[in-house]
Amino acid sequence: MRTGVSTRSPAEIYEELFVPALFRQWGGVVADAAHLQLGQRVLDVACGTGVLALAAAERVGAAGRATGLDANDDMLAVARRKSTQVEWRQGRAEALPFADASFDAVVSQFGLMFFEDRAAALRQMMRVLRPGGRLAVAVWGALESSAGYRALGDLVRRLFGDQVAQAFGAPFALGDPQRLLSLCAEAGIRDAQVTQRSGTVRFPSVAALVAAEQACVWTLGGLLDERQCVRLLDAAPETLRPFVGVDGDVAFELPALVCLTRRPGSSA
């Protein structure tokens, strides 16, 4: 296999490749959308290796408290190496291990698509919010709204068929604002607002982008054998050529949808 990342854990691949390419730019965006303030208690659900939780910790300061929760122990191990400012907890979004009204704000970025029961997870996030507290959840926009990933997805479909292409498209499952609002309604959230924000994917090379996708347990990881990985890596440079800069890096737009709401009531 020519990707050079197969010996690293999924969490290490996530931190090394996906965080700088996709996720780092969004921590501050989601933290600002939640209007985080000094002294607040904030929970980051599906925190991964801690991008958003760390941004939240900066906003709430030493007088506040930031907690990052993830179901994956390997992700939390990487997060704990990055900071002791955040309380890192293991747990599932569908069964948050916190009392009612424990947090002034709850945030989550790019995890909701992968939860086993999305509506239950949203209900749990609302449960642990204090009355009047804010919820901010980000998901990726539709695959069709990202020219680069759309091109790569079309290539995956041509090479390997619909089943593999559907796995590749899993992160974009909630990219329709109406679908996201319907999910909120299913969870009992009636006054949610969804806004679209612009973002940019940036990998140092086509090979790095393909290697990341091949190793990602949420998309193509484990689906392609060595021969298929080589086929994808060989075909991708031509497909992604319109998005390659003079220095060989790959960049294209990838918008996100940010869903905002408050828990009804007042803390006063």
- Give residue-wise pLDDT tens across range 38-56: 999 999 999 999 999 999 9
Whether the full predicted model's pTM is greater than 0.75, yes or no, is yes
Residue type for position 205? S
- Report d(CA 256, CA 136) in Å as an integer: 12
Local structure of 221: helix, strand or coil: coil
Residues 6+ apart with CB under 8 A from 178: none
Quick: pLDDT tens for 85-138: 999 999 999 999 999 999 999 999 999 999 999 999 999 999 999 999 999 999
Banded pLDDT at 163 (limits 50, 70, 90):
very high
Q: Is residue 2 predicted with pLDDT exceeding 70?
A: no
Domains of the chain: 10-262 (3.40.50.150)
Nearest CA to 95 out of 128, 73, 72 is that of: 128
Residues 6+ apart with CB under 8 A from 249: 202, 203, 204, 205
Strands 65-70, 87-90: pairing kind: parallel
What are the start-end ranges of the H helices in 26-174? Answer: 27-33, 51-60, 73-82, 118-127, 147-160, 162-168
97 or 12, greater pLDDT: 97
Burial class (CB in 10 A: 0-12, 13-18, 19+), 99: exposed
What mean pLDDT is predicted for residues 165-187?
96
